[in-house]
Structure 1
Amino acid sequence: MTVTLSDTARQYIALFEDETGATARDCVVLDGEDGHGKRVVFVVKPGDMGRAIGPGGKNVRSVQDRLDANVELVEDADTAAGFVANALAPAEVRHVTISENDDIVAYVEVAQDDTGVAIGAGGRNIETAKLLVERHFDVSDIQLT
């Protein structure tokens, strides 16, 4: 699946990679209409998450300061199921099943105590995960079970 990046997203990826030394494969800018301020979500190459965060969170904080936005990181994955689990982190995802009937849907079993974490305030975490998994794997919906 081909991901199309806006000019702003390309600029943010360049800044992110310069500041962290990690490789970003995607960037989504969310304008903050949900009352939580501007958010920038980077999809990071597998294995680069530690480098992206940096010691004590130094690298990601530097990017946040430069962009004046809340920065969120999602580790890329080779499979839709792996990507969904990463997109819902830090919620404890126990199992992901991808159903490929008319629409491709991810059914996700989350630890009961982490349901709220997976959904997020006002549904923002699960909505971000849905946006990203549709961009990368053509999955149309995520359902928590």
Structure 2
Amino acid sequence: MTVTLSDEARQYIALFEDETGATARDCVVDDEYDRLIFLVTAGEMGEAIGPGGQHVQRVEEQLDREIKLVEDAPTAEDFVASALAPAAVYNVTISENDDRVAYAEVAEEDRGAAIGTDGRNIDAARDLAARHFDVDEIELT
């Protein structure tokens, strides 16, 4: 699947990569919540965050926006679990009926983390899963 990036998103990716040393595969400009969502190459999350979170904090300060990081994954199931972090996701199944729906099994105590304030975490997961794996919906079970 091909993801098209705006000029603005490409500029944010360039700055993010320069500041963190990690590779960003995608950037979603989320104006509703005044934040940027970066999809970080698998295995580079620690580098993106930096010691004590200093790399990502430096980018947040420069851009004066909240930053959310999501680690890439090779399968739709793993991707959805990663996108819902820090919630503990036990299992993800993808329904291939009329729509492609990801059903994520999340512990009751982590449902709030998976959903996020005003639904912002699950909205980000839905946006990214749609962009990278043609997932139409994510539902928590």
Counterpart Cα distance in 1 of 2:108 and 2:98: 29
Report 1:75-86 matches (<5 A): 75-86=71-82
Which whole-Å deviations, capped at 9, do the CAs of 1:32-62 have from their partners, x for residues lacking one?
x3xx5x1000000001000000011110001
Identity of aligned residues (%): 67
Report 1:1-145 matches (<5 A): 1-31=1-31, 33=32, 36=33, 38-145=34-141
2:139 is paired with a residue whose SS is: strand
Please report the TM-score for the alignment, with normalisation by the length of structure 2. Answer: 0.98
Aligned residues: CA RMSD: 0.7
Please report the TM-score for the alignment, with normalisation by the length of structure 1. Answer: 0.95
Counterpart Cα distance in 2 of 1:55 and 1:119: 27
Counterpart Cα distance in 2 of 1:113 and 1:86: 17
Once the two structures are TM-superposed, the CA of residue 118 in structure 1 deviates from its matched residue by: 0.6
Number of paired residues?
141
2:135 is paired with a residue whose SS is: coil
Counterpart Cα distance in 2 of 1:42 and 1:121: 19
Consecutive unaligned residues in structure 1, runs of 5 or more: none
Write out the 4+ residue segments of structure 1 that deviate beyond 2 Å after TM superposition. none
1:78 is paired with a residue whose SS is: coil
1:64 is paired with a residue whose SS is: helix
